Amino acid sequence: MKTAYLLIGGNLGNRYAYLQKAVSLIQQFCGKIVHSSGVYETAAWGKTDQPAFYNQAIALETALSPNDLMLKLLEIETAMGRERKEKLGPRIIDLDILLIDHLILATTLLQVPHPALPFRRFALLPLFEIAPEIIHPILHKTIAQLLADCSDELDVQKKSSYPT
């Protein structure tokens, strides 16, 4: 079993309900969720002329290979109605793999750790809540250190706690 750290988010429709649905489907098809952060609201990153996002980090125990996990997450996005119309555009749901144990991987489908993780406060803050001492396998810094070093100034506000 591996522990995968995921970031789930979305900015269309009932954002909270979509997060809950994604958590349910991930648990059903990908493995056991062992930790969940609270839900955070963040202004859109990169393409700012769109609604704010809700984001949540989860720790998932999974027997799936990294590529199989990514394929399953893409299937869940599609099943939930995600349409990929524009890069960084609005979306019902977005499921990203941030880290998998101490794995370093680069394939045409997946890059682990997620290459933008150190630069995105909206990903680091919920991940910090559930795994502050996890070490980034390339940068050799904890999530707490990455968050302290992050220059992203986007406002990230905790909306609610979400029990594991």
Question: Is there a catalytic annotation at residue 15?
Answer: no
Which residues does residue 36 pair with via DSSP β-bridges, in sequence order?
58
Q: How buried is 105 (Cβ within 10 angstroms: 0-12 exposed, 13-18 middle, 19+ buried)?
A: middle
Q: State the Cα–Cα distance between residues 9 and 12, nearest whole angstrom.
A: 10
Spot the catalytic one: 15, 49, 68, 82.
82
DSSP H/E element including 66: helix 66-79
Spot the catalytic one: 15, 68, 96, 120.
96
Question: Is there a catalytic annotation at residue 94?
Answer: yes
- Are the C-beta atoms of residues 81 and 18 closer than 8 Å to each other? no
Question: Is there a catalytic annotation at residue 155?
Answer: no
Spot the catalytic one: 91, 101, 121, 152.
91
Q: State the Cα–Cα distance between residues 47 and 78, nearest whole angstrom.
A: 22
Spot the catalytic one: 49, 68, 84, 94.
94
User: Which residues, including other chains, have CB under 8 Å from residue 29's CB and lie 6 or more apart?
Assistant: 72, 75, 76
Question: Is there a catalytic annotation at residue 91?
Answer: yes
The catalytic residue positions are: 82, 91, 94, 96
